[in-house]
Structure 1
Amino acid sequence: MSTYESALLRLLDERGYIHQMTDAAALDALATKQIVPGYIGFDPTAPSLHVGSMVQIMLLRRLQQAGHKPIVVMGGGTGKIGDPSLRDEARSLLTTDKIAENVASIRRIFDRFLTFGDGPSDAIMVDNAEWLDALEYIPFLREVGQHFSVNRMLSFDSVKQRLDREQSLSFLEFNYMILQAYDFRELSQRYGCRLQMGGSDQWGNIVNGIELTRRMDGVEVFGVTTPLLTTADGAKMGKTAAGAVWLNEDALPSWDFWQYWRNTDDRDVGKFLRLFTDLPLEEIARLESLEGAEINAAKIVLANEVTALVRGRDAASKAEATARETFAGNGAGEDLPSLVAGPDGVRIAAALTELGFTASNGEAKRKLAEGAVKLDGAIIHDPMHLIQPATGETLRLSLGKKKHALITG
């Protein structure tokens, strides 16, 4: 049973979001007395965020649900460097125009999770390029750089792992943690921000920001991190053999997004319902207690609720209907991913890879050899098998029991 007084920390604790906190008692007391503005930063390295960012997006949603103010920080400035945290190599540097495009594209997702506006607990979105791009190097070094110990920075996991593996860490990347710390101080001054949240890999960066704000301004701010989230089989959230599970519709069809959640491991159902849906905890307890084939009903609820949040209720309903038709009725639901074979047709191994069912033609050949691939219900072994539907004809291509697509002429 939670011992926290504030609705905010009780909610985060009950739903499984808390890994580490700085001065939990003081943050708990603050959250009972006033609206706490809190932020999370997102680097716009692609036009869409993926499922790996959903814990942080939901964390901002929970902040607002508890009556506090979410600040979404787009890393238009820090994105020009790239966060080195727990990465084996440097990110590719993006142009200013590309970063601006990505920020505009990502904004659409947050509109579905948060209420933006001018009210006390309404969310705001800001871009740290607004203040980072205007910094002058020498004044910044004198004013901010003096508060950072290189010895201490070298001790952070994000740096140590790169150095221990003898992988290059550029001076550009090394500056990232200073700039993120400066973000916290700037947000504290501009918006009264008192809380930074993030994944467990951000702990060092968050602590840096807390200490910098205290040293320069004498203001007490706080940090909360979430556990590193992996699936029950140890895989990283948001990645599949076919690639990232993107949040934006134009990056991944809603059917594939829904199916990702429908395929959740039995052991993860309760955890994911708590983290990624607004269902009451009592209902989640009932669903995660289901056993055997009945747990599939809980997975459908999970897929529907998450898809409704990210893509809209209509997309969730269509995906479930497609699944019902495809799996139960042996039909070909209209929401399935599709591929146009063209007049010359398409080889079955190439079709599997183009649809993202397999990561390469080599993997496609292995799946075909294993008898895992069917075309309109018939097992196909030959990777050179030509799929050549007539004009207007539709064939169903299946990999295993869970991946289906339509091949049209």
Structure 2
Amino acid sequence: MGIYEELVARGLIAQVTDEEKIRKLINNGEATFYIGFDPTADSLHVGHFMALCLMKRLQMAGNKPIALIGGGTAMVGDPSGRSDMRQMMTKETIQHNCDCFKKQMSKFIDFSDGKALMVNNADWLLDLNYIELLRDVGACFSVNNMLRAECYKQRMEKGLSFLEFNYMIMQSYDFYELYRKYGCNLQFGGDDQWSNMLGGRELIRRKLGLSEEDAKAQAMTITLLLNSEGKKMGKTQSGAVWLDPNKTSPYDFYQYWRNVGDADVLKCIRMLTFLPLEQIDEMDKWEGSQLNQAKEILAYELTKLVHGEEEASKAQESARALFSSGNAEDMPTAELEDGDFKDGAVDLISMLVKAELVGTRSEGRRAIEQGGVTLDGEKITDIHFTLKKEDIPEDGLVLKRGKKKFKKIIAK
């Protein structure tokens, strides 16, 4: 089985421009491919995870990845899937985020000895001359076709700015520039990027005067990671699930995947892990309590990919210890500071918010009233419950919301 067939079997491929050409390219290790990452935060998150895993799979099969950091496109903002305009960022913030991305990507992609490239589209986009761009690139695009693109539909309802309208042209120019400079013959991206990717392929074709049949640049989209309810995976009530351990701890990362729904676990194992397909095919028959074992496997494998084997083992042992004995040394902690105590005491709702077990105080109040909060195994339904600093032991107290969310509370 070639790598293309494996990607199909794992359910990773959504749309392709020319299946036979792409199959030949990547099965023969002849693809120089790129995926773009706009640095809109100082960490990659679960939404980027599938793209990183795909780059790793293709590199292992002999293909050459180009990780494109969108230092230039981030100054405009991608309107895809947005109902509002993205917040504008300074050049300094964008550069800081780019530096963070490079460090994280190196865990997935081998950049040594020219095996992969990392480039920043700010290097060419920021120097473009507007009139030259209009003449040389703008002439290759049909406004009618652009307005039909899926990525603009949501924004059209509330008002699409001219700034955002240019995003497709900028992403298309990226593909052209990478093709011209590095021989990049394949672009990957999320399924919501299809129109932008076709724009890049068409720009290359027209600039080189090629027919559709002779087009050398190809595009392929990755299936979006959705749960059984059709919602994008990778978000919690407190926000995104980050790959940076300082933003989402290895334990919380493990717990996110440990708590996926029964209907989603085997799909996630197939799409995201590097376990052999034969092993996953056997797991497709699992049901009932076996699905909990599958969730442990998923959580462990993905935590190992992102944070290493040691952290994955610690997270797994900690989770098992919590459910068997109610405590664990490596449990994630929330540290109360002097400012959290009012008149020497802290209320339970404040502890829930501090521990990020709830997003708001009103949510915390409801959780307590509904009997979903325990402190060291004791259910507490009094919304006015408080603790004095001296009542918190040195090794902390376990605060739980529901069956699966918990933190160890310690006081400075």
Aligning the two structures, in what range does the TM-score lie when normalised by the shorter sequence?
A: over 0.9
Asked if 2 retains the 8 angstrom alpha-carbon contact of 1:58 and 1:275, the reply is no
Q: Distance in 1 between matches of 2:328 and 2:230?
A: 33
Matches within 5 A, 1:7-406: 7-33=2-28, 35-119=30-114, 122-163=115-156, 165=157, 167-217=158-208, 218=210, 220-340=216-336, 342=338, 344-390=344-390, 392=394, 394-406=396-408
Change (3 A) 1:325 1:162: same
- Give the number of equivalent residue pairs: 400
**Segment drifting more, 366-375 vs 274-283:** 274-283
**% identity of equivalent residues:** 43
Q: Distance in 1 between matches of 2:151 and 2:196?
A: 9
Q: Distance in 2 between matches of 1:294 and 1:26?
A: 41
Asked if 2 retains the 8 angstrom alpha-carbon contact of 1:323 and 1:333, the reply is no
TM-score by length of structure 1 reads: 0.94
Residue 289 of structure 2 aligns to a residue whose secondary structure is: helix
Asked if 2 retains the 8 angstrom alpha-carbon contact of 1:338 and 1:407, the reply is yes
Query: Could you tell me how far 1:356 is from its partner in structure 2?
Result: 1.6
> Which runs of structure 1 show a deviation greater than 4 angstroms over 4 or more consecutive aligned residues?
none
Asked if 2 retains the 8 angstrom alpha-carbon contact of 1:262 and 1:300, the reply is yes
Residue 381 of structure 1 aligns to a residue whose secondary structure is: coil
TM-score by length of structure 2 reads: 0.93
Q: For residue 374 of structure 2, what is the amino acid of its counterpart?
A: K
Query: Could you tell me how far 1:351 is from its partner in structure 2?
Result: 1.6
Query: Residue deviations 1:101-141, cap 9 Å, x none?
Result: 0011111221111111234xx12111000111111111111
Change (3 A) 1:264 1:26: same
Query: Could you tell me how far 1:46 is from its partner in structure 2?
Result: 0.2
Q: Distance in 2 between matches of 1:36 and 1:320?
A: 38
Change (3 A) 1:60 1:32: closer
Q: For residue 407 of structure 1, what is the amino acid of its counterpart?
A: I
Q: Distance in 1 between matches of 2:314 and 2:370?
A: 32
Asked if 1 retains the 8 angstrom alpha-carbon contact of 2:400 and 2:406, the reply is yes
Q: Distance in 1 between matches of 2:188 and 2:274?
A: 20
**Segment drifting more, 57-66 vs 369-378:** 57-66
Residue 133 of structure 2 aligns to a residue whose secondary structure is: helix
Query: Could you tell me how far 1:273 is from its partner in structure 2?
Result: 0.9
Query: Could you tell me how far 1:32 is from its partner in structure 2?
Result: 4.5
Change (3 A) 1:106 1:346: farther
Q: Distance in 2 between matches of 1:398 and 1:329?
A: 14
Asked if 2 retains the 8 angstrom alpha-carbon contact of 1:322 and 1:336, the reply is no
Change (3 A) 1:334 1:160: closer
Query: Could you tell me how far 1:275 is from its partner in structure 2?
Result: 1.6
Q: Distance in 1 between matches of 2:387 and 2:323?
A: 22
Q: For residue 398 of structure 1, what is the amino acid of its counterpart?
A: K
Unaligned runs of 5+ residues in structure 1 are: none
Q: Distance in 1 between matches of 2:92 and 2:63?
A: 33
Residue 112 of structure 2 aligns to a residue whose secondary structure is: coil
Q: For residue 131 of structure 1, what is the amino acid of its counterpart?
A: W
Query: Could you tell me how far 1:33 is from its partner in structure 2?
Result: 4.7
**Segment drifting more, 281-290 vs 201-210:** 281-290
**Segment drifting more, 299-308 vs 269-278:** 269-278
**Segment drifting more, 330-339 vs 133-142:** 330-339
Query: Residue deviations 1:178-222, cap 9 Å, x none?
Result: 000000000001111011111110000000000000100245211
Asked if 2 retains the 8 angstrom alpha-carbon contact of 1:288 and 1:295, the reply is no
Q: For residue 56 of structure 1, what is the amino acid of its counterpart?
A: A
Query: Could you tell me how far 1:384 is from its partner in structure 2?
Result: 2.6
Q: For residue 208 of structure 1, what is the amino acid of its counterpart?
A: G
Query: Could you tell me how far 1:393 is from its partner in structure 2?
Result: 5.0
Query: Could you tell me how far 1:352 is from its partner in structure 2?
Result: 1.2
Query: Could you tell me how far 1:382 is from its partner in structure 2?
Result: 2.1
